[in-house]
Amino acid sequence: MVDAVQIVISISDEEQGYDLDLFCIPKHYAADLEKVYIPHGLILDRTERLAREIMKEMGGHHIVALCVLKGGYKFFADLLDYIKALNRNSDRSIPMTVDFIRLKSYCNDQSTGEIKVIGGDDLSTLTGKVSMEKRDIIDTGKTMKTLLQLLKQYNPKMVKVASLLVKRTPRSVGYRPDFVGFEVPDKFVVGYALDYNEYFRDLNHICVISETGKEKYKA
């Protein structure tokens, strides 16, 4: 069976984003951001579409939905809400159980390439199961490839990966997830649970951090 080609929304390198004063931005971040890059409403609309694509490809399988913390929790929760709505209102449905794993691979605005598993449940629950990994962003792809190698130790039946963002970067190892929300330029973005040293997770929109913000919240 040939996998369907997924259409991805690609944001060009020339995209400047939207002025901050067009949106509701918390005052404590007003000087720390350059632009709103992907508004919250667009994120939700795209996430709903990904839920439909996942339902079409994986409907009928009992899957273990694995959330990659911390940055993936908002995307994970919203995506599962849309899948649950489809379960209630369509002919196909996906029985799901939920699990979590916590990873760390960033220091300030750079991916270290070293994956640290610093929390999570017993992944032996994946043995023989269909697993759907949901995470916030694929940067170089090194972290995801390392995680997939880790998961293989538990002999899952099948693993699929959904990522809200994939970054175009010369540092990429060429990894591409199965389901992608947006392809974005090589900029450091925050918000919608994406952080910079634990800040900006409480921001609804995905924004580009300013140099002032980087310096202010530098580790």
User: Cα angle at 65 between 182 and 205, to 5 degrees?
Assistant: 35
Q: What is the Cα–Cα distance from 82 to 94, expressed in whole angstroms?
A: 12
Q: What is the Cα–Cα distance from 72 to 181, expressed in whole angstroms?
A: 13
Note if 139 is an active site residue: yes
User: Cα angle at 207 between 185 and 86, to 5 degrees?
Assistant: 90
Residue 23 tokens read as 């949106």
Are the CB atoms for 39 and 18 separated by under 8 Å? yes
Of 137, 145, 90, which is closest to residue 113 (Cα–Cα)? 145
Choosing from 32, 78, 136, 139, the catalytic residue is: 139
Give the residue numbers annotated as catalytic, written as ranges: 139
